Structures are given as structure tokens and as C-alpha cells.
Structure 1
Amino acid sequence: MGLNFRKSFKIAPGVRVNVGKKGVGLSVGGKGLRYSVNSSGRRTTTVGIPGSGLYYSSSSSSKSYKTPAYQRRNELARIQREQKKMQELEYARFQVDLYENKLDQIRSIHHESDDPVDWQEVFHRSPPFQPGQEGPNTSSARQKQQSYRPGFLDRLFNKDEAKMQQLYQEIEKSKLMDQELLDDWNYMHNIAGRILNRDIDAYFEVIQEFNPLDDLVEFGSGFEFGSEDPNVIHVSFDVNAHNVVPQKSLSQTKTGKLSEKNLSKTTYYDLYQDYVSSCALRIARDMFALLPVSLVFVHAYEDRLNTATGYQEKVVILSVKYDKVTFNSLNLTNLDPSDALTNFKHQMKFKKTQGFDEVPLVLS
């Protein structure tokens, strides 16, 4: 049986102090109406009709009273709210970083380029091995086969023959690898000779083989190449700016939340112009690095609605003649891609609030 303790003291008319095992309480009132409050925070109001045996009682807990379980739940909820807020802030920061990185990419496409190809060095490069000799892979595999000495366990379990057979197979595989090395050398030697002899067909072969502009495809541009002069290459590309240039800006508010706003026309078209100009520079840079040409013509096309026919048509919005001497004198890292057009003969009609107009091709 549990031991209970309760004692009540009258300290004033209608006011009593109640001392019990679970705490100390204070009650005010008399028959018919009494209000009690306990040190635990529990509050009780009792209303009744004297002599009738009828009464009504209601209890509540103070908001300041928190059980350990309540405190744990409250702390967990607080932590979850903070984590959610941090996740929202991190997500906002991540999205803004992506946006700013994309802006940097749009303006700096021309910063990256393939390494220049020295076709003289390629042509005079020695073959991987001389005719009639074993290739390096075959020689290495044969040395392993000749130096193999079966151990005690290999002989005990008759694994020496299987091991020797495996080594012979490695020799045959190595012969194929060496043949690939020789085939690659022969191809590069022959194509280098044709390039040095200004074979235009060889130009297109190495463009297809090296695919120098493949990383520009992510910017939504398709390419066509043409040439009738071994000193000149023409490259046409589709702008497709709607897939590349953002129309909204992203930023973080003072509270860290993500803010999205429409770009102004001037800001959007400024990005558009830099994107097109940077692509043109990059194309010229890769062509000069790959081919022994002195001139690169770059023509940018954009899809436009022909209101007379109702069909989309490709129109030229930028045409540039890049000469190698002037191009190599530029500091490509620090220049503004749109401003750099002034160094070359070009056709461009651009308005800050309307963008590009159609222009004729530069062909000479």
C-alpha cells in the first residue's frame, strides 16, 4: 500500500494552503465556488449548488509547465524547424551559385580551347616500333611467359599448364594491342601529311575525328563546316539562346530566402550578345588550334518567325572574319567578347532593348 500525505491550513477566510506528496497548492473560495492552483501548475475551478450535490469542475495546466516528454518533443520540433530553415537557406544559396556560375560560363565560353596541334611534329613522330619487330605490349607479355616458373602448389594441383596457356593468350592479346598502336600511328602520320599538303578533305576528317566543339553542344549550338580554300574555314552555328541565356535572375534576400525576378531587357540582351560573341571567339580559337588556316569565318544563325510565310527560318545575326595574326595578339582571358568584335571585320546589328537584327554574311 502506498503512503499518502495531505494537510490543509487555513491562512485567511476562504483561503487555504494544501500540502501534499505531489506539491503545495493554494485554494480560494467557499461552498459553491472554489479556485485552486498547485505548484505543479495545475489549476482547478469548481462551481456547484450547495446542498444539491451538483457541481462542475474544470482543470488546466499552466503553459509554463512542461513535462520532460513535452520538453523533448518541443526541442525536437525546434531542431527540425532549424534544420528545415538551414536546408532552405542552403538550397537558396546553391541555386544562386548555379545561376551565377551559368552567367560566368556564358561570358567565358572562349576561355577554354583544345591544345594546338603541331602537324609537323605529328608527321615526323617515330612509329611505336619498327616493322618486323615485336611491339612493346607483345614483348612485355612474352617476357612474362618466358620467366614463368611454376611453384610447388601449381605443380601439385596441375595448374602450371593452365597458367602457361593463360600467358600465351596474353601474348596474343598484346599483339592486337600493338597492331592498334601501329594503326593509330599510320593514320596520324598519313593525315598529318595530308594536312601539311593542304588537303581540304583532310581538314574535315580531323574535324570529325577530333570533334573540337563537342563541349559547346551543351550550350545548344549545332555546327556546319565548309571550305574551298586551304587557308580558310567557314563555320556556321545555331545560337538557340533560349536554351542557354536565363530570362530570370536569382538572388538571396537579407533573410536568405531565394528571390526570382525577370531580367530587364537590357540585361537579357547584354547576356545574349556576350553569349553569341563568346561562342564565335571559341569556334575561331579551336579552328586555329586544329587547322593550318589563316582565316576563320564564323556565322551565327538564329531561328526567326517569318510573318509572311508563318514558318521559322534561320537568319544570320552575326558574321565575323577572324584573322590568325590579330586573333593571337588578343588576351582572351581579360577581354569582353562583344567588345572584341571591333578587332575584326564583322556584321552585327544590335540594340540594347531589342537584341540582334538580321545581317548579311561576311565572305571576304
Structure 2
Amino acid sequence: MGWKGTVRSIGAAVRAAERDAKKRQRELENRQKQYERMQVLEQAAYEVEVFENHIDIIQSLHKECSIPIQWNELATQEEPVHPKKAEVHEKNARQKADNYKPGFIDRLFKREEKVKQKLKTNIKAAINKDTLVHGQNLSKWEEEFKDWEKSTGLAKSLLNGDGKAKLEVIEDLDPFSEISSLGSSLVVSIGGSGVVEATINVHGKEIIPNEIKSLLNSGKLSVKKMPQGKFNELYQDYVCSCILRVGNELFSTLPDDLVIVTAIDELLNTKTGHLEESPILSACISRSALQSLNLDAIDPSDSMTNFVHNMSFKKTKGFDPVSRVEHAMFADA
């Protein structure tokens, strides 16, 4: 099975392992269709559930990831066996012809020659059927061979650090679709040292709500402006969760042991008075360090101490611009 076939076969497993927050989101989306028919208190409870679910999702992106592709196994998989033409139908037809012995009815109505002729015709039809089946098997083998050739070649290229192959696989698999659905966009490139670098535009002001929704004791909806400190904390968790998710997806997609992930967003340049896109978190993620973490239990912001990273954050102010982690630092890693 080629690498795309492998990906398709594990798709069901990935969906089955989907975290609770995403399942809850779909349930709420289905209920949204019935929103207009809800009573006021039901609508209030629904809006609070949607709000809480959104907060859960943006803080837990790192808890879900695609199943890793085993490139070493794909690089050494055996070549599909070339099919040999089987003469099963012909052998059966010839056996019937050779074993034919006229019965009483055939002799009585003098049908021996007619039956023998029919058996000869059946042999020709059987030969044609064997040829047809062989052609079908050959076509199937040709597809499998092309897939095998593509898979093994791609796997070997990846294991040899081919940057073009890395970008091809990432483009084909599109492992960052969930992050994109939240409004974050991502670009992947290959650094001069061959290190994969991902830049994610997190669009924090679009993702983090500026209001808090809750239920009063009466069951009515309460909407309050989110305190700046709480907004900044959620924003930091979201950005760090994105960084971890992107790193993990890259390790699931590629055989690399080291990637650099940088989050950018619009920040106010106090010198010009304009919003400008700037790096707000840049981290070198190692496979071994990431795999050592219990992603279901960590605080995504606190977890950054496990990696070489640049981040300037204050709860009262939020993020300040930082420099990117340079790939040259890890050229020999």
C-alpha cells in the first residue's frame, strides 16, 4: 500500500479519536438550526454552551493530531508481484472436453459431434476469459506498481532530507485544516539548513472573544466585556496551542526530528502608530521533547519552557514583537 493509501486507511481512526471539544462543537452546530424555535432561556443556555465550547477548542488544539506516517516502512516495502497469466478457465474447459464421453441420449440423437464442437468453442471462450482476467490483473498491478514506486521514492527522498519532497507531502496531506478553519493561515518553507519552518498567522483578535457569556441564577444570559488580562491569557494559550499542534502535525507528516514554528499577528508599532505583522512566538520544536509531554494535561503556555523559543508576554499587556528562532542555530542538530 502506498503512502496515500496508508493515509486513507488511517483516516477513520483519526476521526474516531477526535477530541470531545470538536464533537461537542458539531452537536452545537446541529442545534443551532433549531435556535429560532427555542425559548429565551434555552437560547441563553445554548449561547453559553457555544461560548464555552469555543474557549475549550482554542485552548486544546494541541490535544489532537494526525496518526504518524511510517516513512521507514514505506521506504522498504516490497515491490508488488507481477501477475502471471492463470489458465484456470482454459484448463477446466479442456478437462471437460477431454473427459467427455457420449451418454445414451447423445448417442440416441447423434449429438456427439455437436457436443464436442460446443466443448471446443467453450475452450476458446475460456482462453479469452483468462486473457481478460489477466489484463485486469495487469492493469491493477500497474497502478499498484506506480503507487509503490512513488511511495518508496518519496519516502527515501524524505529520509534523505529532500526539501522539495517535504513540501510536496505537506501540500498533498494538508494536515493543518482544523487550524485553518479557525481563521489561522499557515505557510511552510525549508530553511537554508534544511530545517522545516512553519509560519502561522494566528489572527488573535478574530479568534479570541472580547466578551464573556454566562448564565445568571435566573437562567438569563449575561454578556460582559472580557477583562484584558483574561483576554491576553486566552490569547497566549491559543497561540502556544497552535505552535504545539503545528509542530506535532509536521512530525506526523514528516520524518524530521526538528522543526521551527513561528506565530505572527498584527501588533501596534508605537513608532508609526500602525498595525504591523510581527512574530510574537517563535519556537524550535524537537520531536523527542514534544513526545515526552502529556499533551492532555499540560498548560500550553507553560509548556514552551521545554523548547528553545522567543516570546515576550505580559498578562497586562499581551505580546510584544520578538525575533524568529534562526535555523542556522540547528544546522548540525
Asked whether 1:302 is paired with 2:288, we answer no
SS in 2 for 1:348: strand
Q: Residues 2-81 of structure 1 correspond to what in structure 2 (within 5 A)? A: none
Equivalent position of 1:105 in the other structure: 57
| Paired AA for residue 190 in structure 1 | G
Maintained 8 Å contact 1:231/1:295: no
Asked whether 1:124 is paired with 2:87, we answer no
Q: Residues 303-318 of structure 1 correspond to what in structure 2 (within 5 A)? A: 303-306=266-269, 312-318=275-281
Distance (Å, rounded) in 2 between the aligned partners of 1:236 and 1:86: 42
Distance (Å, rounded) in 1 between the aligned partners of 2:83 and 2:39: 67
> Rg bigger for which structure?
1
| Paired AA for residue 94 in structure 1 | Y
Distance (Å, rounded) in 2 between the aligned partners of 1:213 and 1:309: 34
Deviation digits for residues 141-194 of structure 1 (CA, Å, limit 9, x no counterpart): x9xxx9xxxxxxxxxxxxxxxxxxxxxx99999987765444333322221121
2:214 alignment partner, one of 211, 228, 251:
251
Deviation digits for residues 67-89 of structure 1 (CA, Å, limit 9, x no counterpart): xxxxxxxxxxxxxxxxx997222
Distance (Å, rounded) in 1 between the aligned partners of 2:276 and 2:133: 58
| Paired AA for residue 238 in structure 1 | N
Asked whether 1:234 is paired with 2:234, we answer no
Alpha-carbon distance, 1:100 to partner: 0.7
Distance (Å, rounded) in 2 between the aligned partners of 1:182 and 1:244: 46
| Paired AA for residue 147 in structure 2 | D
Distance (Å, rounded) in 2 between the aligned partners of 1:258 and 1:179: 63
Distance (Å, rounded) in 1 between the aligned partners of 2:135 and 2:266: 55
Distance (Å, rounded) in 1 between the aligned partners of 2:37 and 2:72: 61
Maintained 8 Å contact 2:197/2:260: yes
Specify whether residues 284 and 320 from structure 1 end up closer, same or farther in structure 2 by C-alpha distance, changes over 3 A only. Answer: same
| Paired AA for residue 116 in structure 1 | P
Maintained 8 Å contact 2:212/2:225: yes
1:96 alignment partner, one of 32, 37, 48:
48
Equivalent position of 2:311 in the other structure: 348
- Write 1 or 2 for the structure with the bigger share of helix: 2
Specify whether residues 93 and 297 from structure 1 end up closer, same or farther in structure 2 by C-alpha distance, changes over 3 A only. Answer: same
- Write 1 or 2 for the structure with the bigger share of strand: 1
Alpha-carbon distance, 1:265 to partner: 0.6
SS in 2 for 1:235: strand
Higher RCO (Cα < 8 Å, 6 or more apart):
2
Maintained 8 Å contact 1:231/1:293: no
1:212 alignment partner, one of 175, 179, 200:
175
SS in 2 for 1:321: strand
What is the TM-score with the length of structure 1 in the denominator?
Answer: 0.62
What is the TM-score with the length of structure 2 in the denominator?
Answer: 0.67
RMSD: 2.9
1:325 alignment partner, one of 271, 282, 288:
288
Deviation digits for residues 315-355 of structure 1 (CA, Å, limit 9, x no counterpart): 11111111222221111110000000111121111111221
Distance (Å, rounded) in 2 between the aligned partners of 1:175 and 1:230: 44
Maintained 8 Å contact 1:225/1:236: yes
Equivalent position of 2:20 in the other structure: none
Determine what percentage of the aligned residue pairs are the same residue.
35
Specify whether residues 288 and 86 from structure 1 end up closer, same or farther in structure 2 by C-alpha distance, changes over 3 A only. Answer: closer
Distance (Å, rounded) in 2 between the aligned partners of 1:284 and 1:349: 20
Deviation digits for residues 193-246 of structure 1 (CA, Å, limit 9, x no counterpart): 211222121111111111111221012111122224676211111010122111
Asked whether 1:269 is paired with 2:232, we answer yes
Maintained 8 Å contact 2:84/2:134: no
SS in 1 for 2:39: helix
Equivalent position of 1:289 in the other structure: 252
Deviation digits for residues 86-138 of structure 1 (CA, Å, limit 9, x no counterpart): 722222111111111111111100001111111111122345x433458xxxx
Distance (Å, rounded) in 2 between the aligned partners of 1:133 and 1:201: 37
Distance (Å, rounded) in 2 between the aligned partners of 1:310 and 1:292: 44
Maintained 8 Å contact 1:200/1:229: no
SS in 2 for 1:318: strand
1:193 alignment partner, one of 156, 160, 177:
156
Distance (Å, rounded) in 2 between the aligned partners of 1:231 and 1:238: 22
